[in-house]
Amino acid sequence: MKIKFVTDSSADLPKEIAEKLNVTVLPMELSFGSDVYVDNVTISNAEFYDKLRSCKELPKTSQINQFAFEEAFAPYKGTDTLVVAILISFGMSATIESAKRAKDQLGMDNVLIVDSKLVTFALGTFVIEAVKVAETAENAADLEEKLEKLRSRIRLYAYVDDLKYLRYGGRLSAASMHIANMLRIHPVIAINGKVDVVSKQIGVAKCLRYMIDKVKEEADLSYPLYFGNSDCPERAQAFEERLLAEVNGATPYPVMAQLGPTVGTHAGPGCLGVCFVAKEN
């Protein structure tokens, strides 16, 4: 079975990995005021974080439109290739609706649209592992079932370093941010349809401890661990090395993800975390 994977740039899938796996990544747009940029096309992650640090109002991201999906899907119309579009959670963006409209407009029955219920490098992890799963799929229905099972096992844990971006986005009150900063409280986030705060830890060290313990408890170490960060690669590398030293049998995915605008806007710089495939229940 021939398969073509498509995803969106909120997956923060490293460019070299997307090219290696032949995954088409459709870019989202973002705007700082009246200035509009195309994610990782007309603005790099480094440029994004430079602008984010100096902005007084958070940038806005927009969904990918129907026509972009039509262009991505159309070359496979009438072929024996199954197009699998694994996209940002519907709970965070209407991008998936654009993909469905494109499929209907083209009248294609060889397009499978998957709501990942994920974002950032959790979505990227899902895409990478989905490519592997596809090698064993007997048909489209079998692949869809396998992807559903895989999706339910994806876990991401990350901590937010600077709370002011949550404050700017209205997700935290000024009083709460002040108290949290005084007590050195950092939220640890996870993703399940949307971004959730799953723990609040005092100090960075306890955040790292929490995430390492989660890997020990939940991870299926026959899969690699995926690491990511928002403009703090040295700290993220130190975390990766510490985790690997503590977790026997763990292996890292060879390329670390960089959080782009979709999640970076709200998490801000200094966020780091780990993603993995959890043990089967």
Alpha helices (H) along 116-199: 120-134, 140-151, 164-168, 174-183
The string of pLDDT tens digits covering residues 199-224 is 888 888 999 999 999 999 999 999 99
Backbone angles phi, psi at 233, to 5 degrees: -60, -35
- Could you tell me the strand order of the sheet in which 81-87 lies? 23-26, 2-8, 81-87, 111-115
Which stretches does DSSP call E strand in 17-142?
A: 23-26, 29-32, 35-38, 60-62, 81-87, 111-115
pLDDT, average across residues 229-247: 96
Average pLDDT taken over every residue of the chain: 91
Residue 7 has pLDDT above 50, yes or no: yes
Beta-bridge mates of residue 189: 158, 197
Could you tell me the CA-to-CA distances from 233 to 52, 65, 75, 169, 247 in Å, in that order?
A: 17, 32, 38, 24, 21
The domain 2-28+63-151 belongs to what CATH superfamily?
Dihydroxyacetone kinase; domain 1 (3.40.50.10440)
pLDDT in the model for residue 2: 94
Least confident of 48-57, 86-95, 167-176: 167-176
Looking at residue 184, what is its pLDDT? 60
> What ranges do the domains of the chain cover?
2-28+63-151, 154-277
pLDDT value for 198: 85
**154-277: CATH, from 3.30.43.10, 1.10.10.410, 3.30.1180.10, 3.40.50.720:** 3.30.1180.10
Residue 8, pLDDT score: 97
Beta bridge partners of 23: 5
Residue 94 scores a pLDDT above 90: yes
